[in-house]
Amino acid sequence: MKNKNAIIGAAFLMATSAIGPGFLTQTTVFTQQLTASFGFVILLSILLDIGTQLNIWRVVSVSRKPAQDLANELCFGLGYLLAFLIVMGGLSFNIGNVAGAGLGFEVLFGIDVKIGAVISAAIAIGIFLSKDAGKVMDNFTKILGFLMILLILYVVFVSNPPIFEAVQRTFIPQKFDALATVTLVGGTVGGYITFSGVHRLMDAGINGEENLPEINRSATTGILVTAVVRYLLFLASLGVVMAGFTLSKDNPPASVFQSAAGEIGYKIFGVVIWCAAITSVVGAAYTSVSFLRTFHPNFEKYNRQIIIGFIVFSTIIFVLVGKPVKTLVFVGMLNGFVLPIALAIMLIASRKSRLMGSYKHSLILQIIGWIVVAVMSSMVIYGLFS
């Protein structure tokens, strides 16, 4: 039962780390642009997400080493580079997550966003102060994950989307946007996100080739949970867009919920964005700090305190700077590099018997992995020079 809870908990930690304020915004904006054909983009991104996540989780788990140690053993210094990118990217995202949690409190209770952010940060810190933080974190992400699904499902019902057309265009699209696909893949398994679940499994002692069935199940479950939330949000947004409503440029997700269900919908948005943001705060802090734990004994000894400090620091920056977009543009851009670099490292490591022993990594997964590396790298290069 302990293993089962950890397996499900790792899946939901990964999923809820992905489902943050940016996830909600991306989904509603792309639905407005592509309408029913956005379903195809979601389907394609899910396939790429699963391929990416299975590659990373299997290699890290079989090696029995956290990603940064595996990277350092492949080539000394790679682990430190990967850790730097993960921590800096996680920090920039966490500031946005804290802001999203504050916005949720503002919508629900009418209090100032910064006060809401501080209260939310205190709740997240409380999880890591608990005696069994891992178990509390697992239960917290599972409960809020299910709550988000139920609330979005209600909004889908009241928005009355053209479900038949949505399903049809999911397989036979009229429009396609490659950038939207790459954005969804990066937002689901990019940066710290995909590592959140596999490092949680390692903490629970679930690793090694003998545990691959459980690892595969947890990895695919995490992606499928994000897919369910993404598709439901797509249907809700589609119902609103097809009804002739124009989404607000300042807050597209809020306008979806409000247009579909009025004031009740707006309050539901407050709950959903708070759940999405607070679980992402927990996931970003836990995973980012997990990339430091093996570099020095003090990082392991004071792991909880460092996680709490990470949350406090993110909150202080948001409170002092407000909307830190311009200040953290460079830091945020670092996250775009993380997926192709991290995935390439794992794919190369998968071929090294000194790291993987007798394990033979799937050729199909390797091919999918290198396709994702090539596509994501080209988009990063395009973004830098366009």
**Residue 110 CB neighbour total at 10 angstroms:** 8
pLDDT value of residue 90: 87
Express each pLDDT in 256-279 by its tens digit: 999 998 999 999 999 999 999 999
Shortest CA distance to 16 belongs to which of 386, 240, 276, 198? 276
The residue-averaged pLDDT of 138-167 equals: 92
Residues with Cβ within 8 Å of 211's Cβ and at least 6 positions away in sequence, in order, are 61
The residue-averaged pLDDT of 61-80 equals: 94
Express each pLDDT in 90-137 by its tens digit: 888 888 889 889 989 999 999 998 999 999 999 999 999 988 888 888
Q: 328 pLDDT exceeds 50?
A: no
Categorize the per-residue pLDDT at 331 as very low, low, confident or very high, splitting at 50, 70 and 90: very low
- Distance, in Å, from the CA atom of 288 to the CA atom of 83, rounded to the nearest integer, reads 8
Q: 37 pLDDT exceeds 90?
A: yes
More confident residue, 324 or 61: 61
The residue-averaged pLDDT of 236-264 equals: 90
- Distance, in Å, from the CA atom of 213 to the CA atom of 217, rounded to the nearest integer, reads 6
Categorize the per-residue pLDDT at 327 as very low, low, confident or very high, splitting at 50, 70 and 90: very low
**CA-based radius of gyration for the chain:** 20
Two structure tokens written together for 300? 């392991």
Express each pLDDT in 170-210 by its tens digit: 999 999 988 888 888 888 888 888 899 999 999 888 998 99
Q: 381 pLDDT exceeds 90?
A: no
Categorize the per-residue pLDDT at 7 as very low, low, confident or very high, splitting at 50, 70 and 90: confident
- Distance, in Å, from the CA atom of 269 to the CA atom of 174, rounded to the nearest integer, reads 30
The alpha carbon torsion through 366, 368, 374, 380 (nearest 10 deg) reads -120
The residue-averaged pLDDT of 219-233 equals: 95
In percent, the amount of the chain with pLDDT more than 90 equals 63
The identity of residue 346, as a single letter, is: M
Average pLDDT, the chain: 89
- Distance, in Å, from the CA atom of 352 to the CA atom of 185, rounded to the nearest integer, reads 27
- Distance, in Å, from the CA atom of 38 to the CA atom of 379, rounded to the nearest integer, reads 19
Phi/psi at 368 (5° precision)? -60, -45
- Distance, in Å, from the CA atom of 185 to the CA atom of 346, rounded to the nearest integer, reads 17
Residues with Cβ within 8 Å of 86's Cβ and at least 6 positions away in sequence, in order, are 191, 192, 195, 287, 288, 291, 338, 342
The residue-averaged pLDDT of 51-62 equals: 95
Q: 83 pLDDT exceeds 90?
A: yes
Categorize the per-residue pLDDT at 384 as very low, low, confident or very high, splitting at 50, 70 and 90: low
Categorize the per-residue pLDDT at 150 as very low, low, confident or very high, splitting at 50, 70 and 90: very high
Q: 74 pLDDT exceeds 90?
A: yes
Categorize the per-residue pLDDT at 329 as very low, low, confident or very high, splitting at 50, 70 and 90: very low
SS3 75: coil
